[in-house]
Structure 1
Amino acid sequence: MDLDQADDALALAKRTIRQEAYDSALEEAWWHFKAYLASEKLNKHKDAKDYLDQASKYLTEYEQDNHIQGMPTPIDQLFDTLAEPRSFGSVDYHLLKAEMALLQPEKEQESYTLALMAILFIMREHPHHLSVLRFLGELIVKEGPSVSANLVLNNLKECYTTIDDLHLMHRLQELRLLSETQAKPDMSSSTEPNVPTHESPTEQTVD
């Protein structure tokens, strides 16, 4: 997101917040988080903190309204979430929760877990992706925390916004290759893998 895009994103978020053009506390949290990201990009740090505080407030309100307490499920029960009601396992909720957790280094493992959960919910919407599910399961079991939460989230956003099966598989394959590279660092070079990033959250809204 460049400065012009950030300016446009902030204007849209502020207009949406002012008009209260959302249907739930979760969507309200999303728009405040979008405003936070744009404000940070524009170096409006005081405004950004206020937006982040509001996003946290509305996310908490959503959790209380839906009786969500703590981590929705342990990482060793991730696949059990496929049987949970869609209203509880909202992709948007897990993605926003993961994004916010990532802002606090001590919560990176929580962010990583939530991001993986969101990917599983995305996959559940496309049950023909059995090979992708198996592939992702291998990544969870074999790589675990060696894959950074940031890397998972960047790939998650790509998965969430595409309907191209081949492209989706390619991105997940790239994630595994990068995780293997991280697990066995090349001591001769300090450069990190060139990972395409998507700095703003998906523009999809909560139904």
Structure 2
Amino acid sequence: MKKLNLISMMLLFVTALSVMSCVNNDNNSDNLISKADQKAYQQRISGTYSGKTRLYSFDANSNKFVKQDSTVNVAWTLNADSTMSITNVPVKFFANYITTSNNNELVNLKAALAAAPNQNIKAYYCIPSTNYVSSTSINYVVTALRFSLTYNGAAHVITILTNANYVGGWNVTQRFAYVLAVTAGLYIDNTYYSSNMTTTAIEMDSK
């Protein structure tokens, strides 16, 4: 809980940058990161990590995240190509944070998630600028979580977008990896439900 509240206050230095700004657009601004540097940083932090995963809801009244559950034996791999593989994720937790608005697609997804076993999911991350890198850490933004879920006789790709104002990180000396993803939207296949995913968070650390 302490870690999440601390990271929650670490708003990105350049929140105006979109997640697509992970690729240098040849602008000469000092904080832009070159493709070569970004690749080198991603290569440096790549590896497989394991530890505890904590699941949080957001209490709007107190403006705080509240831990709902935690689980062990979760492993994740940071890949040099800006993807992340995460095993054994309890995706049923997300069912609590989908508002259906009487939409059949969302009703079906909510029910499927509630009954789903743990899943292996794919995540995406980026290092948007040199402001995310220091002598002690390499920080990054998790931009989306994605997994397949079969229900009602068909396979669907579920994509959960994440809030770019929260960061994960990698400690240079300890090789300690920290992942934080705060929900910010939902896709079912190619259909976007911008306001039907309320705020929750997944936190993972390798200590």
TM above 0.5, one fold? no
TM-score by length of 2: 0.29
Hey, which of these two has a bigger chunk of helix by percent? 1
Structure scoring higher RCO (CA < 8 A, sep ≥ 6) equals 2
Alignment TM-score, normalising by the size of structure 1:
0.29
